[in-house]
Amino acid sequence: MDLDELEHGSTYRDRVSTVTEKGARNWLYVLKPHGRYYNYRNILTVFYLIVFFGMPFIKVNGMPFMLLNVLEGKFILFSKIFWPQDFYIFAIAMIASIVFVTLFTVVYGRLFCGWVCPQTIFMEMIFRKIEWWIEGNPAEQKLLNNGPWNGKKVAKKGLKHAVFFFISFLIANTFLSYIFGVDRLIQIIREPISEHLALFLGLIAFTFMFYGVFAFVREIVCTTICPYGRLQGVMFDKDTMLVAYDYKRGEPRGKFNKKQERTIGDCIDCHQCVNVCPTGIDIRNGTQLDCVNCTACMDACDYMMEKVGLEKGLIRYASENGIAEGKKLSFTPKIKAYTVLLGVLLLVLATLIVTRKSVDTHITRAGGQLYQELPDNKLSNLYNAKIINKTNRNIPLELKLEGMEGEVKLIGTHSLELKKESVNVATFFIIVDQKEIKERKSELKVGVYQNGEKIQTVKTTFLGPFI
């Protein structure tokens, strides 16, 4: 909204909502929202919590569904182990993620922040609810905080922070289970602390970190700390989907009087949109970096509009152009194109992950070795094979020559048994009839078989005599 469109004396934002005029912390007392969007967020929260707390316990073929062990460089996604040899997938994923975040933000704004971000989910849908349950509504919370330290205050504050700390402890345990695996975490719990002191100290550190964030830092994570929130501000354009106030319909503001015909804007200046905002902003001042698009103000405004008999949607999902032109949000060709592109990116990443090889074989001819002449007009070359088993089980393997008559003869063993999660080395001869070799250096194909099923074809060369 332009400054000249605001009434003289209105409280246009001129400072950070979480800081007072004296520079002190402005503690926000947020009113509990009610409405259809809040109900949708409740449903999404239940699903989110089930996935978050349940995923570490999901195993496929004895492997965690997801493991992100950055300390040991071990990553498991969708029960597939990723090795340094799979770095190209991470490189493509990083590029795709940058493109995805950019396009998603350009089209849908901060939809992620309001609906999916863990900070918003835990703060607004769990910790905030606990605070309302124990300490009451915003007025009661403020009265309690400003009152003397008596038995009632100690009991309520003690209970609240005890619950906060316990939930933070659960989050920290779950967080670490994504890094080390739930089995190792259970091992830490069952065995003496002295045997896992470093991990235990890490668990306590994460617990205090989460507790500090949700008990004290709170909305400052979104308004100041989060780099994604700061980055989004430069990605918006006038067609980006936002939680926006329809200033054309709402201005000039004025209190509602049911005895008089309303000749001013629809905004009744009830401040309910401000009271329910988890970051303390006034959405009527236009698009702001602090807005996380949580839709709490939309529910509050719709409730008040319905109560006074005015049309809903004064605060709604819209774009700057949509508000200026008085149009409802619609899927423009641009939004459709970007959405399709986002879907393609996700499909490409999913395909790379699903089609990634569980066994990766590299075969090279032994350096410094010429061909060997054998009886019956046979020739042989010596080869080294490096075979990576990316699974958590031992795998029997067989190598077969393809495209020409010949055999693969292993040295030192009669069969290949790949050890789980390891790099296996094998040395072998490839023996062929001399008549099969038509060039000094011929191309060979070696089939890699697991339980009789070919899983990979590896190309190499065969060195023969000058012809």
Q: How many domains is the chain built from?
A: 2
Residue 376 resides in a domain: yes
Tokens of 64: 């965690």
CB 287 within 8 A of CB 300: no
**230 neighbors 220 (Cβ within 8 angstroms):** no
Q: What is the mean pLDDT of the chain?
A: 86
In 10 A of CB 21, how many CB atoms?
8
Please check whether residue 444 is in contact with residue 401, taking contact to mean a CB–CB distance below 8 angstroms: yes
- Claim to verify: residue 23 and residue 159 sit in the same structural domain: yes
**Percent of residues, the chain, with pLDDT higher than 70:** 96
CB 216 within 8 A of CB 294: no
Q: Are residues 412 and 305 in the same domain?
A: no
Q: Of 325, 343, 371, which closes a domain?
A: 325
Same domain, 307 and 368: no
DSSP state of 285: G
User: Do residues 371 and 317 both lie within one domain?
Assistant: no
Q: Are 305 and 274 in contact (CB under 8 A)?
A: no
pLDDT per position as a tens digit, 103-161: 788 888 888 899 999 999 999 999 999 999 999 999 999 999 999 999 999 999 999 99
User: Do 378 and 431 form a contact (C-beta atoms < 8 A)?
Assistant: yes
Residue 93 φ then ψ, to 5°: -65, -40
Q: What is the DSSP letter of 176?
A: H
Per-residue pLDDT tens digits for 415-429: 788 888 788 899 999
Give, as one character, the DSSP assignment of residue 378: E
In the prediction, which pLDDT does 353 show? 77
Residue bearing the bigger pLDDT, 325 or 272: 272
Residue 369 and residue 283 share a domain? no
Helix (H, G, I), strand (E, B) or coil at 402: strand
73, part of any domain: no
Report the C-alpha gap between 408 and 410 in whole angstroms: 6
- Kindly state whether residue 403 falls inside one of the protein's structural domains: yes
Element (H, E) at 306: helix 296-308
Same domain flag for 194 and 316: yes
In three-state secondary structure terms, 267 is coil
Question: For residue 233, what are its two tokens?
Answer: 């501000």
pTM over 0.85: no
For residues 408 and 317, state if they share a domain. Answer: no
Residue 37 has pLDDT above 80, yes or no: yes
Q: Given a cut of 80, is residue 70 above it in pLDDT? A: no
Q: Crossing angle for the helix pair 36-54 and 151-180, nearest 10 degrees?
A: 50
Q: 3-class SS at 301?
A: helix
Q: Among 463, 422, 427, which Cα is nearest to 442's?
A: 463
Residue 158 CA, distance from chain mean position: 33
Give yes or no: residues 6 and 53 share one domain.
Answer: yes
* 3-state SS assignment for residue 409: strand
Q: Which residues pair with 363 in a beta bridge?
A: 385
CB 314 within 8 A of CB 328: no
- Are residues 313 and 374 located together in one domain of the fold? no
Q: Are residues 147 and 215 in the same domain?
A: yes
DSSP letter for 149, please: -
Cα 447–chain centre separation: 39
- Residue 443 belongs to domain with CATH number: 2.60.40.10
Beta strands in 138-267 (DSSP E): 242-245
Element (H, E) at 37: helix 36-54
* Boundary (domain end) residue, out of 306, 325, 344: 325
Please, what sign has the CA dihedral across residues 18, 20, 23, 29? negative
What was the pLDDT predicted at 8?
40
Q: Express each pLDDT in 189-248 by its tens digit.
A: 888 888 888 888 888 999 999 999 999 999 999 888 888 877 877 888 888 889 999 999
Query: 363 with 309, same domain?
Result: no
User: Residues 153, 278: one domain?
Assistant: yes
Where in the sequence is the domain holding 393, given as residue range(s)? 359-463
